[in-house]
Structure 1
Amino acid sequence: MNPQNIIVDASTDVTVGPEPRIIIPKINVDAPVVYGAASDTKSQSKAMEKGVAHFSIPGASAVPGEVGNAVFAAHSSNDAFAGGDYKFVFAQNEKLVKGDIIYMNYNGKRYTYKITSTEVVMPTEVSKVQINTDKPMLTLVSCVPLGTAEKRLLIFAEQISPDPSKATATSESSSNQQQSNNSNIPGKPEPTLLEKLFGGR
C-alpha cells in the first residue's frame, strides 16, 4: 500500500516528502501539485498537464499553512489526445461532499482540510474564489458538466490540521500573481474531443 494513501489522525502533525501533492482518499486522487505558474490561461493549462495547478491571484493567493484561500485547479476531462498525464484527475470531484477530507503535502508537511461546501459557478465568477477570510482554507476547481468547460465546480474546505490558529499570514507579493487580470476561473482553453464532435464548448 502506498503510504500516501493512508488516512492519518487529523489532529496529529505528519512529516512527508518534499514533493507537493494532493491526496483525496474518497475519490482515489494522489497527484503532484504545481506551484509558481502564472495566472493566465496558457500557463495554467501547461501546469495542469503536470498535475493539479495552484492558481494565484490577488485575494486568492494563499498556500497550505497560510491564512486565506489557496486555490487549486485540475482537469475533470480533457481531449484524450491532449498532452499530459492528468487529464482526468478531478473527474470524480462531484462525489465529494461536506465532511470529506483532503490532504495537501507542502514543504515537507501534511495539511488536512475538511470540505465545508460546494458550489457550481460560471467561469467568469472569479470573485467566488477571492474570499476574505481569517482562516486557512482551500478551494478545488474543476470543469462541469463532465466533458465540457461550461461551468466550474468549486469545492471549499477549511484546514483542520495542523492547528489552523497557527497559520501564517498570506504574502500577496508572489510574482506569479502580480498584475493579474485573469477574468476566468481556470479551466480548459480548448474544446475537448467530445465537445468538438458534438458542437459544445
Structure 2
Amino acid sequence: AKEQELSRLQKAPGQASETDADNKPVDLQANAMKELRQQIQQKVRDSAKKVKKSRHFMPAMAGITVLLVFMFLQYNRIIFGAVAAYTTPGAIDPQNIIVDASTDVAVSPEPRMIIPKINIDAPVVYGAASDTQSQNAAMRNGIAHFSIPGANAVPGQVGNAIFAAHSSNDAFAAGDYKFIFAQNEKLVKGDIIYMNYQSKRYTYKVTSTEVVMPTEVSKVQIKTSKPMLTLISCVPLGTAEKRLLVFAEQISPDPNGTQLSDNANSGNSKSSASAAIPGKPSPTLLERLFGAS
C-alpha cells in the first residue's frame, strides 16, 4: 500500500504539468483574440468619431461661407467706402490747379467740378430729376445737379445749386464714380471748389458743413441773396442713414450783380417737390434680386 501511495504522489506533479501545458495555448489564443477584438473596436470608434466630426464640420463651413458671401453682397459698400476714404478718388489735370481763386481761366464747355483738397476732377451731369431712379442714373456718370423747389440755381445764379454724388456704392453697381465724394468729410471752412459751367469757371469757398437726416429737405431750400452751392453725400460711409451737406459761396467772378435763379432758364425743366434730399445710393445686389427699391 505504501508503495502504491508513493507511486501515486510521484506521478501527480507530472500529471499537473501536462494539464498546464495543455491549457497554456488556449490562454494565449484567448488573449490574442481579446486584443484583436479591442483593436477592432477602437478602430471602429475612431472611424465613427471622424465621420461624426466631418458630418458637423462640412455643414458648419458651408454655413459660414454662405454667411460671408451674404455679408459681402449686402455690405461691401462699407468696406470699399472706407478704403476709398483713404485713397485718391481721381487725378486732377494740372491746368485745373489754380493758386489765385480770382484768376479768370478759359475752360472747355464740358461741365466739371474740381476740388483740389480731395483731388476731385469729375464731370457734372445737369438735368436730372429728383426721383431715386433718375438720381442713380445721373450719378453713374459723375456728379449730379438736382433742381428742387427752393434750390434750383446753377453756377453763376443767386440761390442754392445742389450737387450730389456717391460717397460709396455697391461694388456690383454700374458707373465709374461710386466713391467720388468719399472724402467730402475732410472739407472744412475756407476750402475751395471750382465749377466749370458753360465755358466759364466759378470759384466757391466752403462756409460750413452739416449732417442731417435725408428727410430734412428744408436744409437745402435756402433763401439767400448770394450765389451758393451745396454738396450732398451719404454718411456714415457705406450707408444711406444721413446726409453730409457742404455749403459754399461764390467768390469769383464777383458775385455782386448775378442773376436770380429761375427754373425756366436754369437748364433743368424737371424740378419737382422732393420728399428726401437727393443722393440715395443704388440698391445692393441682394436688394435688387429680392425686389427692394
Q: Percent identity of the aligned residues? A: 78
Structure with greater strand percent: 1
1:67-111 Cα shifts (integer Å, max 9, x gaps): 000000000000011011000000000000000000000000110
CA deviation after TM superposition for structure 1 residue 181, in Å: 2.6
- In the alignment, what sits opposite 2:275? 183
Instruction: Summarize the Cα distance change of 1:195–1:100 in structure 2 as closer, same or farther, 3 Å threshold.
Output: farther
CA deviation after TM superposition for structure 1 residue 188, in Å: 2.5
- In the alignment, what sits opposite 2:105? 14
1:18-46 Cα shifts (integer Å, max 9, x gaps): 10000000000000000011111110110
Q: TM-score, normalised by structure 1?
A: 0.91
Q: Secondary structure at the match of 1:163?
A: coil
Which entry has the higher C-alpha Rg, 1 or 2?
A: 2
Return the structure number with greater relative CO, CA threshold 8 A, min gap 6. 1
Q: Which runs of 4+ in 1 moved over 3 A?
A: 189-196
Task: List alignment gaps of at least 5 residues for structure 2.
Answer: 1-91, 289-293
- In the alignment, what sits opposite 2:143? 52
Instruction: Summarize the Cα distance change of 1:78–1:51 in structure 2 as closer, same or farther, 3 Å threshold.
Output: same
Answering whether residue 238 of structure 2 is matched by residue 144 of structure 1, we say no
CA deviation after TM superposition for structure 1 residue 189, in Å: 4.7
Q: Secondary structure at the match of 1:91?
A: coil
8 Å Cα contact 1:23/1:30 also seen in 2: yes
Amino acid of the structure 2 residue aligned with 1:15: A
Q: Give the length in aligned residue pairs.
A: 194
Amino acid of the structure 1 residue aligned with 2:127: G
Instruction: Summarize the Cα distance change of 1:67–1:83 in structure 2 as closer, same or farther, 3 Å threshold.
Output: same
- In the alignment, what sits opposite 1:104? 195
CA deviation after TM superposition for structure 1 residue 144, in Å: 0.1
Q: Secondary structure at the match of 2:270?
A: helix
- In the alignment, what sits opposite 1:122? 213
1:164-197 Cα shifts (integer Å, max 9, x gaps): 00311111334121xx13201112254447999x
Residue pairs, 1:73-112, within 5 angstroms: 73-112=164-203
8 Å Cα contact 1:19/1:106 also seen in 2: yes
CA deviation after TM superposition for structure 1 residue 8, in Å: 3.8
Amino acid of the structure 2 residue aligned with 1:181: A
- In the alignment, what sits opposite 2:66? none
- In the alignment, what sits opposite 1:41? 132
